[in-house]
Structure 1
């Protein structure tokens, strides 16, 4: 299956999902995904496996233990009426830089439905993000967002391609959410944004 066919299949899948789950975004933004965006999404699992293997092997004891805690938990379905809307505390774990795992403090994040779908917005900290969620599968949502600095106005995916972010959101059985970035902006190889109530 070539890239154009893959992109079209993904767009149709996401657009169809919104008819069954109106809280998800309408799928129109998928047309803004580039070939590179689609390649990154297709490579999510191998990128994740490689980054986690390296981080686990190289992290110091404290950071390694925190990473293990963040990665724990079983994925749950988003298709059972679950609503993530509300205020969250979130923290980044950045993998693949120096040190191998960097754990940041928790900041405020919010998930809300703006009428077009669920939106994630990190509202505190030096590095912020805002974007929409789309259904990939029963237990995975696609995040298409954009990074901003604390002194910059938030923008949407596609408004400035140099700030585009792609990630996958997982709901966990202990109430947490985990947003994983397979090609983060900056000098790391894989980023995780953990959400707790």
Structure 2
């Protein structure tokens, strides 16, 4: 059938295409707070300061754990998203400020779709993983076990470390090095340390 016999069909298809194109071409940016975006911008500076302090004063065993945590090149974005899914052993390493390095025992974490949560231990975190500037970032809420955390997007604009309950905005760079290993780097967290690492293994 000649296309000119059904111009109204062509008009309808064109109108539909124009309606859909913006949604396909543009991805919704994650709801990142300005101060958290600023912390991500200084990740390398924060990590560098923390590593200098850790290696200057850390214990040999904890430094070996740190070296293992930082080993491995981050996977490309699409591979990293697939590798993150599932249950994990997760270990927090705190670097800098009050102590050179503190490596905690392993706890349990889980990633399901965009959701990520540290399930055990006294200090927990719960949030979502987003694509941001070609990388994966974690936006979540830090909280104490037993509390019901507010969503990251619902946290008050000002952060008060002395508040009760203590809900802290947390931002981190997610790097998966294989389907069995990865890490989340948290620059300049509001509590205790210069940089935190959440080390993922299974």
Give the distance between the partners of 1:122 and 1:18, measured in 2 at CA.
Answer: 31
User: Structure 1, residues 40-94: CA drift from partner, whole Å, max 9, x if none?
Assistant: 1211111111211221221111111111111111211122472422111101001
The RMSD of aligned alpha carbons is 2.3
Deviation at 1:170, TM superposition (A): 0.3
Alpha carbons of structure 1 residues 18 and 71: separation in structure 2 relative to 1, 3 Å: farther
The offset of 1:155, in angstroms, is: 2.5
CA distance in 2, matches of 1:104, 1:18: 41
Query: What is the SS of the residue equivalent to 1:169?
Result: strand
Q: 1:90 to 1:18 in 2, by over 3 A?
A: farther
1:137 positional shift: 5.0
Alignment pair present for 1:141 and 2:141: no
Largest Rg, 1 or 2 = 2
CA contact (8 A) 1:94 1:188 kept: yes
Distance 1:48 1:160, change over 3 A: same
What's the offset of the Cα at 1:127? 0.3
Report the Cα offset of residue 95 of structure 1.
Answer: 0.8
Counterpart for residue 178 of structure 1? 183
**1:46-57 matches, cutoff 5 A:** 46-57=45-56
Q: Return the alpha-carbon distance in structure 1 between the equivalents of residues 49 and 155 of structure 2.
A: 29
In structure 2, what is the equivalent of residue 126 of structure 1?
122
Contact 1:17 1:135 in 2 (8 A): no
State the partner residue of 1:76.
75
SS of 1:76 mapped into structure 2: coil
How high is the TM-score relative to the length of structure 1?
Answer: 0.77
1:167 equivalent in structure 2: 172
The 1:55/1:134 distance shift into structure 2, 3 A limit, reads: same
Unmatched tracts of structure 2, length 5 or more? 1-22, 160-167
- How many pairs align? 169
Alignment pair present for 1:196 and 2:201: yes
**Partner in structure 1 of residue 15 of structure 2:** none
> Cα 1:69–1:133, aligned 2, differ >3 Å: closer, same or farther?
same
- Matched with 1:29 is 31
Give distance in 2, aligned partners of 1:145 and 1:17: 27
Consecutive unaligned residues in structure 1, runs of 5 or more:
1-14, 20-25
Distance 2:53 2:76 in 1: 29
TM-score by length of 2: 0.75
